[in-house]
Amino acid sequence: MPWNDEYWEKEEVLPKKELEELQFKRLKNALTRAYDHVEFYRRRLKEVNLTPEDIKRPEDIVKIPFTTREHFAQNYPFGLFAVPKDKIVRIHTSSGTSGKPKVVGYTAKDIETWANIVARCLYMVGVRKGDVFQNISNYAFFTGGLGFHFAGERIGAITIPAGVGNTERQIQCMIDFGTTVVHATPSYALHIKEVVEEMGVADKLKLRIGCFGAEPWSENTRKRLEDAFNIKAYDSYGLSEMNGPGVAFECKEQQGLHIWADHYFIEVVDPKTGEPVGEGEKGELVLTALTKEAMPILRYRTGDITILENEKCACGRTHPRLLRILGRSDDMLIIRGINVFPSQIEHVLMQIPEVGDNFQIMLTRQNGLDEITVRVEVRDEIFTGEIWDLKELQQRIQERSTGKAKRVIDLRSV
């Protein structure tokens, strides 16, 4: 049940001081749970002679060592869980740097908390009971599908698990069911826009609201989407390690994304030194999950570059705002909403004896959709001059990449 007509939960407008007190109380709690129940955190804190009692003020958080995505790989699959396995009711994954994905687990309470966080976001941009919400998002390991789905249902919107792909059918569904709200990656939304134009059915759509995220996009794209669909388009940010979508979301002001300080402790650091940057300066977002039972992740280096804004927002919410994600502090690529590390591609290629030392990744965009082409050097000694031999090798590399990096390939062939 919503708190009132405008806000889903009263925590959205908690006075700043109370919000900070709640945040710190939850930080202490998350830290204690991590220390008591996760061997990895106990060891890391002991290494720097720290116990949860040593964190006396919010500023003391800098004493806690960072968690990085490599730590997910080292603790694969369940090493970061703070609860016994029989308390876990769901697992999602996201791509890691090499072969192993990052595993994130949820207790029943986590699923509940997360659904509420995303519902808060959808409600904030005006989604209500009676809306028809077409969730054009992958429903597999990716958190975007189920993360938004449960939130849509919680609000009481008619929630359509549309998934991705089959664009003409998606559009027909929008027309037939009178879809009013969509969620998609911005690049897929651009593709849908082109197909709508080809079909000449723009005037048959009843859309009001578009939620777009999981990859970077720009003000220009916002304008194109808003004009084409006659909607307001909102930026949605999240990452699997911090539940998934719902970490930060734009309000109707469209002046940055509210990042929920009652669920996350928020820092922005210099990506090189790890030191906090000054107020309003650009840096890497570091997040601590405060309310996740299954995985209380401490000081996670997201790799996302942004600026934190603390000024009051006209919408009345007291939570700080992120500017759009401005880039990455590492070489991670986002292709059709899916994270891809060049090192994953390298890992696959280097297992094929005929492949030489050099390769190049080319990214292009066709009809709004990302395309990735990998150019591979072939070893001199295997080069026979026969085109058929090269074709056969090309086939083998393609098959190999399907086998190894299945998630990436699956989504691209959409």
> Which among 257, 288, 296 is positioned nearest to 35, based on CA atoms?
296
> Which among 173, 175, 150, 177 is positioned nearest to 162, based on CA atoms?
173
Contact letters for ligand DLL, residues 154-193 (x by CB under 6 A):
----------------------------------------
Shortest distance (Å) from residue 106 CB to ligand DLL? 14
Region of 53-61, 68-76, 230-238, 272-280 interacting with ligand DLL (CB under 6 A): 230-238
- CB nearer to ligand DLL: pick between 58 and 77: 77
- CB nearer to ligand DLL: pick between 189 and 228: 189
Q: Site for ligand DLL (CB under 6 A): which residue of 307, 325, 340, 348?
A: 325
Does position 284 interact with ligand DLL (CB under 6 A)? The reply is: no
Using CB under 6 A as the binding rule, the residues of this chain from 196 to 225 that contact ligand DLL are: 213-216
Number of residues that bind ligand DLL (CB under 6 A): 21
- CB nearer to ligand DLL: pick between 45 and 211: 211
Any bridge partners for residue 309, and if so which?
Answer: 321
Region of 20-28, 171-179, 240-248, 387-395 interacting with ligand DLL (CB under 6 A): 240-248
CB atoms within 10 A of CB 320: 20
Q: Site for ligand DLL (CB under 6 A): which residue of 11, 250, 267, 304?
A: 304
Shortest distance (Å) from residue 258 CB to ligand DLL? 13
Using CB under 6 A as the binding rule, the residues of this chain from 85 to 114 that contact ligand DLL are: 94
Q: Using only the alpha carbons of the chain, give its radius of gyration.
A: 22
Does position 370 interact with ligand DLL (CB under 6 A)? The reply is: no
132-135/158-160 β-pairing: parallel
CB atoms within 10 A of CB 2: 16
Q: What are the structure tokens assigned to 193, written together?
A: 């826009």
Q: What are the structure tokens assigned to 9, written together?
A: 């939960």
Chain CA centroid to CA 102, Å? 13
Report the b/e string of 99-138 with b at 16+ CB within 10 A: ebbbbbbbbeebbebbbbbbbbbbbbbbbeeebbbbbbbb
- CB nearer to ligand DLL: pick between 322 and 397: 322
> What would the DSSP string read from start to end of 263-310?
TEEEEEE-TTT-PBPPTT-EEEEEEEESS-SS----SEEEEEEEEEE-
Q: Site for ligand DLL (CB under 6 A): which residue of 239, 297, 298, 345?
A: 239
- CB nearer to ligand DLL: pick between 108 and 326: 326
Number of alpha carbons in the 13 Å side-chain half-sphere of residue 205: 27
SS3 assignment, position 178: coil
Shortest distance (Å) from residue 209 CB to ligand DLL? 14
Does position 271 interact with ligand DLL (CB under 6 A)? The reply is: no
Q: How far is CA 288 from CA 26, 60, 284, 311, in A?
A: 10, 13, 13, 22
Q: What are the structure tokens assigned to 397, written together?
A: 């590399």
Contact letters for ligand DLL, residues 333-352 (x by CB under 6 A):
-x----x-------------
CA distance 380 to 354: 9
Does position 288 interact with ligand DLL (CB under 6 A)? The reply is: no
Does position 250 interact with ligand DLL (CB under 6 A)? The reply is: no
Per CB under 6 A, residues contacting ligand DLL are 94, 142-144, 213-216, 235-240, 244-245, 302, 304, 325, 334, 339
